[in-house]
């Protein structure tokens, strides 16, 4: 039986070659999918690890998340109450605004999200691996300066020091 199988392998070279190629493609696809799924698992785990413990407190509203964020006004008293809760390491008030750029055809989608945060607490809002490409971080007295992301600076052709 083995002898007959080996004879057919060498007799039908084209069919044998196509079968081997098919098996190799199948194995390569399985390995590739395994690698992709492992990469996704690692990225999701990193994202969850970075955001674990972050809680956003906003006023109750029926106007949706983005409008709630941009219109919510929490006092320093509320921040102090949150800080008094056992297990809370840090809290800071944040200002969220949604904006649109002139000439941007975003089909009603906001093209700009502005976040105002106390410069001393900026580390609460930056992710691991985020780095400053140019310029410097804000200091406590920097009230007329902004830090802008790479996409918005590219879109508006901004450079460090522009006014």
Range of the domain at 43: 2-51
CB-facing half-sphere around the CA of 7: CA atoms within 13 A = 4
Answer whether 100's CB lies under 8 Å from 112's CB: yes
For 30-88, what is each residue's pLDDT tens digit? 999 999 999 998 888 777 666 656 677 766 666 665 555 555 667 778 888 888 888 88
Is residue 47, in this structure, part of any structural domain at all?
yes
Instruction: Say whether both 19 and 77 belong to one domain.
Output: no
For 92-106, what is each residue's pLDDT tens digit? 777 777 777 666 555
114 backbone dihedrals φ, ψ, rounded to 5°: -105, 135
Higher-confidence residue: 89 or 73? 89
Is residue 163, in this structure, part of any structural domain at all?
no
pLDDT of residue 159: 81
Instruction: Say whether both 151 and 86 belong to one domain.
Output: yes
Measured CA to CA in angstroms, residue 158 lies from 5, 115, 143 at distances of 71, 18, 19
pTM above 0.85, yes or no: no
Instruction: Say whether both 118 and 147 belong to one domain.
Output: yes
Q: What is the count of structural domains for the chain? A: 2
For 105-134, what is each residue's pLDDT tens digit? 555 555 677 777 777 777 776 665 566 777
Answer whether 90's CB lies under 8 Å from 124's CB: yes
Is residue 60, in this structure, part of any structural domain at all?
no
């Amino acid at each position: 039986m083995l002898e007959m199988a080996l004879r057919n392998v060498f007799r039908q070279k084209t069919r044998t070659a196509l079968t081997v190629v098919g098996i190799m493609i199948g194995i390569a696809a399985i390995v590739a999918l395994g690698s992709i799924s492992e990469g996704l698992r690692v990225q999701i785990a990193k994202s969850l690890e970075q955001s674990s413990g972050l809680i956003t407190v906003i006023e109750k509203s029926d106007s949706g998340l983005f409008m709630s964020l941009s219109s919510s006004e929490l006092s320093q008293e509320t921040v102090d109450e949150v800080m008094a809760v056992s297990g809370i390491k840090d809290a800071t008030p944040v200002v969220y605004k949604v904006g649109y750029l002139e000439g941007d055809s975003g089909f009603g989608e906001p093209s700009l999200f502005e976040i105002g945060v106390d410069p001393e607490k900026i580390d609460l809002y930056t992710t691991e691996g985020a780095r400053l490409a140019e310029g410097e971080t804000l200091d406590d007295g920097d009230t007329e300066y902004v830090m802008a992301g790479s996409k918005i600076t590219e879109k508006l052709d901004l450079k460090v020091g522009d006014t």
